[in-house]
């Protein structure tokens, strides 16, 4: 098992190209199950989560080819059961449920794994499937779905902490081949949902309202193959912007959608950094001392929960008191204990972390607990004195394509070694 050694103190500068969106690519790959024709999907990042999804699709009977960020999938004959030994590794594997139900009217998929971030049930997914006419049973760790036919209906996707992105994705994929019209109320508005809808529309689906809280899906008889490119990863872009804030001279993130980054750019400006945007890039540079912030996560277009840990790593250096509240995943603060080991002054009372910036961190052995926590520890290591040893780096490989190599190209000193 690998570990990462971050030698602190280096300055970052230059330009980094952002990879395709993981959170777009995963449901889009699953959506290729909805047609017997070949789908070509471009801009797919080289991540362990992507590898797991392609392995699952192969196990379901798909012909899968992959080369240089392009994936070709032909799902002419498919099976409807995804086993635990594959599904357990990744929460997003649950998004094969919708297309299997939509195309074959049945599915049996083990309850998913992935990052351990509190209670992340799939009740909203199952409620949506039931509204479309599916019989739903959870037994022996498996979700079993069956429908003699799927019929359009009104589905509400709001849960205790807001709407659900994967749940919205799943219901969309189940509904595109259903009879009649489906309306999704309180739909997730994230760009990744829009990307999935655009992919499905390019296959012949009839989806309107993507990017708003009210989606309408007119069912069609069949879908055809397509050639499609996924959007850039806004969370990787945000993480790199924070890296530039922490250790930057002047750093440009390229191949991005600046409109997708507004909720991240705003707080970075409020924290004292200068940011310039162009049609496809954002540049961050110093502009005086880092300022403390009050941040609260919320569904898009609010500040993303997937950037909460990284901002904590930045704010430990801001003189004064910062307050970070996570309303989306209130238990998503497992990075706090590790940042404290490095010298950060953070008091945690979930769902809020109160950070007293002291401007000084020391390298230490730390443990990555989930994907975004691992990114926060890497960012903390960039500013720490000495060497930060990050264990369980398989988490970071789930969501960041060659992040250590990209940061080294910008001037960091990061080693990947065998643990």
pLDDT in tens, 159-183: 876 789 999 999 999 999 999 999 9
Domain 22-229 has CATH 3.65.10.10: yes
Domain with CATH 3.65.10.10 in the chain: 2-18+232-418, 22-229
For the chain, the average pLDDT equals: 94
Query: By mean pLDDT, which of 23-27, 33-37, 162-166, 273-277 is the weakest?
Result: 162-166
Tens-place pLDDT, residues 180-193: 999 999 999 999 99
pLDDT for res 141: 82
Q: For residues 384-410, give the mean pLDDT.
A: 96
Q: Could you tell me what percent of the chain has a pLDDT over 70? A: 98
pLDDT at 91: 75
- pLDDT: which is higher, 110 or 259: 259
Question: Tokens 């635990």 — which residue?
Answer: 84
* Chain segment 87-96, per-residue pLDDT in tens: 877 877 899 9
When pLDDT is averaged across residues 317-339 and rounded to a whole number, the result is 95
pTM, entire model: 0.96
- pLDDT score at 120: 52
Residue 233 has pLDDT above 90, yes or no: yes
Average pLDDT over residues 298-316: 97
Q: State which fold the 2-18+232-418 domain adopts.
A: UDP-n-acetylglucosamine1-carboxyvinyl-transferase; Chain (3.65.10)
Residue 119: alpha-carbon gap to chain centroid: 17
pLDDT at 234 over 70: yes
Q: Please say whether the beta carbons of 340 and 312 come within 8 A.
A: no
Which residues does the annotation mark as catalytic? 115
Residue 318 corresponds to which tokens in the numbers above?
A: 């801001």
Give, for 337, the enclosing helix (H) or strand (E): helix 335-341
Which DSSP letter does residue 231 get? P
Q: Is the pLDDT of residue 116 over 50?
A: no
Q: Helix or strand or coil: residue 361? A: coil
DSSP 363: -
């Amino acid at each position: 098992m690998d570990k990462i050694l971050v030698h602190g103190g280096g300055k970052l500068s230059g330009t980094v190209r952002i990879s395709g969106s993981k959170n777009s690519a995963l449901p889009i790959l699953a959506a290729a199950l909805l047609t017997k024709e070949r789908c070509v999907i471009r801009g797919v990042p080289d991540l362990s989560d992507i590898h797991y999804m392609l392995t699952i699709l192969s196990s379901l009977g798909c012909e899968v080819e992959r080369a240089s960020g392009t994936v070709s999938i032909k799902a002419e004959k498919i099976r409807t059961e995804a086993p635990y030994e594959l599904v357990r590794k990744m929460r997003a594997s649950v998004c094969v449920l919708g297309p299997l139900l939509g195309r074959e009217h049945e599915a049996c998929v083990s309850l998913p794994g992935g990052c351990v971030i509190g209670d992340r049930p799939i009740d909203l997914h199952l409620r949506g499937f039931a509204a479309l006419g599916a019989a739903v049973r959870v037994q022996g760790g498996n979700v079993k779905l069956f429908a003699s036919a799927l019929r359009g209906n009104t589905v509400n996707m709001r849960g205790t902490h807001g709407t659900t992105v994967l749940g919205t994705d799943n219901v969309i994929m189940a509904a595109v081949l259903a009879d009649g019209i489906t309306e999704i109320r309180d739909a997730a508005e994230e760009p990744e949902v829009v990307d999935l809808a655009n992919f499905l529309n390019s296959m012949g689906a009839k989806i309107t309202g993507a990017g708003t809280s009210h989606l309408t899906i007119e069912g069609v008889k069949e879908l055809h193959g397509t050639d499609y490119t996924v959007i850039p990863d806004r969370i990787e872009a945000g993480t790199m912007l924070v890296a530039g804030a922490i250790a930057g001279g002047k750093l440009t993130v390229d191949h991005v959608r600046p409109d997708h980054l507004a909720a991240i750019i705003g707080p970075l400006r409020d924290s004292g950094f200068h940011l310039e945007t162009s049609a496809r890039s954002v540049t961050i540079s110093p502009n005086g001392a880092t300022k403390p912030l009050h941040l609260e996560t919320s569904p898009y277009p609010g500040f993303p929960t997937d950037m909460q840990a990284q901002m904590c790593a930045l704010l430990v250096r801001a003189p004064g008191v910062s307050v970070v509240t996570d309303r989306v995943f209130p238990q998503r603060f497992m990075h706090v204990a590790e940042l404290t080991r490095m010298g950060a002054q953070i008091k945690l009372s979930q769902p809020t972390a109160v950070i007293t910036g002291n401007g000084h961190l020391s390298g230490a052995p730390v443990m990555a607990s989930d994907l975004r926590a691992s990114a926060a520890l890497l960012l903390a290591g960039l500013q720490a004195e000495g060497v930060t040893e990050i264990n369980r780096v398989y988490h970071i490989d789930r969501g960041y394509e060659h992040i250590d190599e990209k940061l080294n190209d910008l001037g960091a000193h990061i080693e990947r070694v065998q643990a």
